[in-house]
Copies of this chain bind each other. A is one copy, B any other.
Amino acid sequence: MSRFLSKASESLLPYTPGEQPQGRKFIKLNTNECPYPPSPKVAEAILAGYEEIAAGCGTAGAAGRAEKADCGCDAGATEAGKMAEKVAQIMPPELANLRLYSDPEERVLIEAIAAHYRVGTNQVIAGNGSDEILGFAFRAFCDSEAPLQFADLTYGFYPALCGLYGIPFRVVPLEEDFTLNIEPYKNCGNNVIIANPNAPTGMNLPLSAIEEVAASNPDRVVMVDEAYVDFGGESCVSLLPKYENLVIIQTFSKSRSLAGARVGFAIANPELIADMNRIKYSFNPYNVNRLSILAGAAAMRDWDYTKECTGRICKTREKTTEALRALGFTVLDSKTNFIFAKSGDMPGKVYFDGLREAGILVRRWDSERIKDYVRISIGSEEEMETFVKETEKLVEAARKGR
């Protein structure tokens, strides 16, 4: 901390992201990324027009290219024109267009999301990852008069964001078995955020539970973080027409294989979306970059591909869960692309370190309630086979050591 840091910033609780290894090659099961690449349509969208460029030549073609690249200069006539033309010839048009600001309204992306969920485009806002969207929602709806309530074991970024905006929060412990009891959330006087399915537990609440919470807090905002909903949960978008206080937050980082593009969004009633836009335009009007707008829109439209990927991941998850249970692990029922598991034979730290030694990264937290659990992202079938084999070795060693 420098001596210039403001008083208001001293008490912040910054979030610690999962390790992003540089150098050594790990099997990376620590940040819930998708093991499969994004839809081929994503590449098509970013490279649109490029194939043509690579193939074509001659003056007429060049003029056409400059036009396509929207590069703002009539090609050919002058020195500057020649330079721009030369670059346009070797550059995919959408990359040449990076010189221009992105659409602050992210129309292409928002239209694709709205079409998929059958809501109005005025019911959607997009962000630089769902972390930014969470920030918009927290800042728009919470303050000292409207604190935020969430579980003790949930996404660790919620308290960090509350710190950033000076929002008081109430933490409600999950039950002994990690289920979320909705009673303390009903008619609670606070705004509420529930990750459903929850992380790091992976456990899912039925739609009826979310509905009870929304119905019992008509004057508070109920935010549902559906980052993992595509792996077996059920989105509460269907509840929107009945509850004007619902904000549904999703991401492209998990089921849509675009963690590195940083795209998230919220769906809510138009008035609440307008409120969140008020924050966005006080904050970062051009918040999603051009290529991520294209990538997100293309991924959203290729739902078949998402279904294929999530289907495979769910199958691998069930197989891995069974294998771990056969090895004496407690594994919570997951509706996500990760599992939360505890060995019957060794402390969480020993298991975590053993896996790391074997070249496998998973995630673990030191907090008392869950220190013996690790969170394991579901990788490809092959990765999970390796993971199970290495786990077998560690269990065997632990049993021998006793």
The residues of A with any CB-CB pair to B shorter than 8 Å are 1-9, 12-17, 20, 22, 27-28, 31, 33-40, 42-43, 46-47, 69, 71-74, 77-81, 83-84, 87-88, 90-92, 95-105, 107, 128-129, 131-132, 135, 139-146, 160-161, 163-164, 166, 219-221, 245, 253, 257-262, 269, 271-272, 274-275, 277-292, 295, 308, 312, 316, 379-383
Contact = CB atoms under 8 A, between A and B. Distances in A.
B98 A259 contact: yes
Given A1-B275, A129-B284, A31 B160 contact: no
A283 B135 contact: yes
A104 B286 CA distance: 20
B72 A143 contact: no
A113 to B, nearest CB: 18
Given A72-B383, A78-B381, A100-B259, 5 more contacts: A2-B274, A38-B95, A78-B382, A98-B260, A98-B261
Contact of A12 (B37, B107, B257, B279): B279
Given A6-B141, A12-B279, A83 B308 contact: yes
A37 B69 contact: yes
**Copy total for this chain:** 2
Contact of A260 (B77, B100, B220, B275): B100
16 contacts: A2-B269, A2-B274, A6-B142, A9-B143, A9-B278, A22-B107, A33-B99, A37-B88, A37-B95, A38-B91, A83-B312, A98-B258, A131-B283, A131-B285, A261-B291, A262-B287
A166 to B, nearest CB: 8
A337 to B, nearest CB: 12
A28 B74 CA distance: 14
Given A15-B282, A78-B382, A281-B15, A98 B5 contact: no
Contact of A290 (B74, B78, B261, B282): B261
A307 B267 CA distance: 44
Nearest to A12: B282
Contacts of A278: 1, 5, 9, 12, 14
Interface centre among A80, A103, A312, by most chain B C-beta atoms within 10 angstroms, is A80
Contacts of A220: 4
B38 A98 contact: yes
A104 to B, nearest CB: 5
Contact of A15 (B258, B262, B285): B285
A90 B43 CA distance: 8
